[in-house]
Amino acid sequence: MKSSRKREDCGYGWVVVAAAFAINFLVDGLQFSSGVLLVEFLDHFKESHGLTAFIGAVQSAMMHLIGPLAAVLTIRLGVRVVTVAGALVSCVGLAASFFATTVTHLTLTMGAIGGAGLGLMSLPPGALVVQYFTERRALANGIAVCGSGVGTFVFNHVMYVLISEFTWRGAVLVAAGTALNGAVFGLLLRPAPGGDPSKAAVSTDGKTVKISAFGRIPFRAAELEEKSKTVNNPVERNTVVAALPTRDLLKDSRLLLFMAFSFMISLAFIIPFSFVPDEAVNAGMSKQQATWLMSSIGISNTVSRILIGWIGDKNCVNRPVMLVAVVALAGLSIAAVPFLPTFAAKLFIVTAVGFFLGGFMMLFAVVLADMFGDEVLTRSIGLSYFTIGLACFVAGPKGGWLFDMTGNYKATFLVAGSECLLAAALLASAISLHRKSYVMESVRDLSGKSGGLKSQGKVFCVDKAAKSSQITFM
């Protein structure tokens, strides 16, 4: 197998970054233009805010709930097949929305079918970019995911123009055709060099452990974990870890806390994208001004993903702690949105929301890889996506129902801001537990050979001569 350094120097990794950028442009552009469509659906169907918001909520939910299935299909069928299939499914769902006569119809076609397709299309490139890079991981991922910010900016304006010219029915039909472009970019994806660990054979104590092409293992998980401890070659050990069943990943308290963090922030994340346009219109602003507010999120998203990605690759930066900071700041910014009455003030705070949420989206997969390793990245992303999907089912309708009960959006945005702050606390707990695991590992290793522990590109040296569990940066 090739080394991580050789993977880093592989020029095709940047082709994958470009393809992932384009796919994120399409996926998140289509998803986050739902706020502009929400205003039209409210006018056309005359239903409550809570019921109408369920369209976007189901779309976001299905996009993420399908994560574990997308992960399994990616491992078995490959990134290209899953991405192309996702583009086709999302096209069918959006095209069928043209004929909608009820909110329920849109919830099924645009929400369930369209969302499932977007999820299949977005997960494979997201994991693949992180697997291609090591030292420049945050920057590469930042460039890839800034396609989401550009897409948010462009699609909100394009959707506004399409609705003006062709009504919302024409707009969703054009969106269906646009989604098909994901199949073109999906064909540019290919696995990172180094081989597929699910097809490898691992030598442990002179015995060969065969792992089938479908990741099945011929012995119990506990035995596999025990065997992995005897493997001296890091690449071979990673192969054993990659074969661990998903249920064993769910026994890791750090991952459970990370999934809880994913759930809580997702309760808040969808609120500004879904309700900023309608909140602005209710505050007396024009629909065009509301569109500009959404576009500002796209601009600041793009800037933050590249800037925070560049900063995140610095040796002095702790990326998990940075993620805690941007999530907390996003919460404070979201809570302030309905309390700023002028367009200029609202534009400033919405831009801040976009900046911090962009940092969250850039760091999400990178921090997962830092904490749990590349070997299980696809499955850990899939599991986290599943919890995000559960949150999306209630996030949008919850915001709409709070509006229906209070007559304004103050409670909606205040609750969302509080959820972000709670999410930051959960992530901080996961990080604390992660650090304790390093200390425990260093204590176990005191009687063995000298060595180091590696995390997020930094090497930690255990001072065994001092007979302590102190860990210092190198």
Residue 447 — very low, low, confident or very high, per pLDDT cuts 50/70/90?
very low
Contact 236, 202 (CB under 8 A): yes
Instruction: Give the mean model confidence (pLDDT) for residues 205-232.
Output: 39
More confident residue, 138 or 163: 163
What CA–CA distances, in Å, run from 179 to 31, 115, 122, 352, 429? 11, 12, 12, 29, 39
| Residue 198: per-residue pLDDT | 41
Average pLDDT, the chain: 78
More confident residue, 401 or 35: 401
User: pLDDT digit string (tens) for 95-129?
Assistant: 999 999 999 999 999 999 999 999 999 888 878 88
pLDDT surpassing 90 at residue 314: no
| Residue 6: per-residue pLDDT | 45
pLDDT surpassing 50 at residue 284: yes
| Residue 243: per-residue pLDDT | 52
User: pLDDT digit string (tens) for 166-204?
Assistant: 999 999 999 999 999 999 999 999 887 754 444 444 444
More confident residue, 385 or 135: 385
Of 13-27, 210-224, 418-432, 443-457, which range is least confident? 210-224
At residue 454, φ and ψ (nearest 5 deg) are: -115, 135
Instruction: Give the mean model confidence (pLDDT) for residues 6-14.
Output: 64
Which domains are seen in the chain, by residue range? 4-192+248-434 (1.20.1250.20)
CA distance 167 to 203: 63
pLDDT surpassing 70 at residue 256: yes
pLDDT surpassing 80 at residue 262: yes
pTM: 0.69
Contact 346, 337 (CB under 8 A): yes
Q: Give the CB-side neighbour count of residue 196, counting CA atoms within 13 A.
A: 15
| Residue 192: per-residue pLDDT | 74
User: pLDDT digit string (tens) for 349-362?
Assistant: 999 999 999 899 88
At residue 207, φ and ψ (nearest 5 deg) are: -110, 150
Instruction: Give the mean model confidence (pLDDT) for residues 308-329.
Output: 90
